[in-house]
């Protein structure tokens, strides 16, 4: 479930927000270009953007080439998308540059839009709408390294971390339950991927989520990853039982039994400070990655909101990210 109760509107929204990894459609969150900037033309067939005016490139950094590399990393998976860097200008804030991009698609079905973002002085982040997102030729590299170092949840698939799909999920989140069918398909279609389940319990809206995550830590510790995924499937199947404390105990114990372990031992383990610390470390990882919704899939550091996403779109993201990272999926 999205942390602030917003909802990913549709698959079309997912395509638009792939640049910014936000929980709302990008054209709603990203302001249009100022009036003095040229406006993108109305769609007919493939849009023909107006020629950029050199007078609108007043900032030394970032360069147009850097912006194009950033956009290619984010949007290159979609062969129908067209874009043009229209302006890179200085702002009143020292070292902050404003970038304006025209974007459309080859079919003309989507109305062309003028999107703007602000590149920060570190050259590694942009503010787009109300989100801070990584910037650069390889914008996901730092997040990828963080995940390779700190994502320690149960996994299925390859032991190699060359292609790492890390799912951040909450056992009490209905959208996480719905996403499991696609995660199971990904495990079949990408056998060379390492697919990790990383708990991200949102306690403020899901009171039983943290104890469920703690049980998951202990099931993994005592039974391994195979036992965990059996346990997880059973918890999601019985998710309605997590609505009350007594129901949660019954649901979790039944799932533990189904995984072939003893509920009393798992419950004792779940109550220890070490287990609580393990859950908190997983939450901290999600926060350090700027994840603000569950479920979220990280593909080699690239954030992909998967609630309601068409399976083919997920595969597009994964295949493209693998390609630019030089990995055979």
CA dist., res. 175 & res. 172, Å (int): 9
Q: Residue 317: which pLDDT band, with cuts at 50, 70 and 90?
A: very high
pLDDT at 43: 52
pLDDT, tens digit (0-9, with 9 covering 90-100), for 43-57: 557 888 999 999 999
CA dist., res. 164 & res. 151, Å (int): 10
Percent of the chain with pLDDT over 70: 87
Q: Is the pLDDT of residue 38 over 80?
A: no
Answer with the residue of higher pLDDT: 34 or 127: 127
Q: Which two tokens stand for residue 104?
A: 């459309």
pTM, 2 dp: 0.83
Q: Is the pLDDT of residue 59 over 80?
A: yes
Contact between residue 85 and residue 68 where contact means Cβ atoms under 8 Å apart = yes
CA dist., res. 126 & res. 117, Å (int): 6
User: Which among 96, 130, 74, 2 has a CA at the least distance from the CA of 299?
Assistant: 74
Q: Is the pLDDT of residue 3 over 50?
A: no
Do you find a cis peptide bond into 85, omega within 30 degrees of 0?
no
Residues 6+ positions from 197 with CB-CB distance below 8 Å: 153, 154, 155, 167, 169, 216, 228, 229, 232
Of 142-146, 260-264, 302-306, the range with the lowest mean pLDDT is 302-306
pLDDT, tens digit (0-9, with 9 covering 90-100), for 92-117: 999 999 999 999 988 878 788 999 99
pLDDT at 42: 55
pLDDT, tens digit (0-9, with 9 covering 90-100), for 222-280: 999 999 999 999 999 999 999 999 999 999 999 999 999 999 999 999 999 999 999 99
Which domains are assigned to the chain? Answer: 31-138 (no CATH), 142-324 (3.40.30.10)
């Amino acid at each position: 479930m999205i942390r602030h109760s917003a909802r990913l509107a549709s698959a079309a929204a997912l395509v638009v927000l792939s640049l910014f990894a936000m929980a709302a459609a990008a054209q709603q969150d990203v302001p249009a270009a100022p009036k003095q900037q040229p406006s993108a033309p109305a769609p007919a067939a493939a849009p023909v953007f107006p020629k950029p005016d050199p007078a609108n490139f007043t900032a030394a950094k970032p360069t147009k080439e850097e912006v194009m590399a950033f956009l290619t990393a984010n949007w290159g998976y979609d062969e129908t998308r067209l874009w043009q860097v229209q302006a890179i200008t200085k702002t009143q804030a020292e070292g902050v540059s404003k970038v304006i991009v025209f974007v459309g698609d080859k079919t003309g079905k989507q109305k062309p839009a003028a999107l703007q973002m602000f590149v920060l002085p570190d050259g590694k982040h942009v503010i787009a709408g109300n989100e801070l997102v990584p910037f650069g030729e390889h914008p996901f590299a730092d997040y990828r390294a963080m995940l390779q170092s700190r994502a320690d949840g149960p996994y299925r698939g390859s032991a190699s971390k060359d292609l790492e799909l890390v799912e951040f999920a909450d056992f009490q989140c209905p959208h996480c339950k719905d996403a499991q069918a696609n995660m199971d398909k990904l495990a079949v279609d990408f056998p060379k991927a390492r697919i990790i389940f990383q708990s991200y319990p949102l306690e403020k809206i899901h009171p039983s989520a943290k104890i469920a995550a703690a049980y998951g830590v202990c099931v993994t510790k005592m039974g391994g990853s195979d036992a965990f995924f059996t346990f997880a499937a059973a918890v999601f199947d019985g998710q309605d039982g997590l609505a009350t404390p007594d129901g949660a105990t019954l649901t979790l114990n039944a799932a533990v039994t189904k995984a072939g372990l003893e509920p009393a031992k798992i419950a004792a383990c779940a109550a220890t400070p070490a287990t609580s610390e393990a859950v908190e470390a997983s939450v901290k990882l999600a926060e350090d990655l700027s994840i603000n919704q569950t479920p979220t899939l990280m593909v080699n550091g690239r954030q992909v909101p998967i609630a309601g996403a068409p399976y083919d779109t997920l595969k597009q993201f994964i295949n493209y990210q693998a390609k630019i990272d030089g990995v055979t999926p």
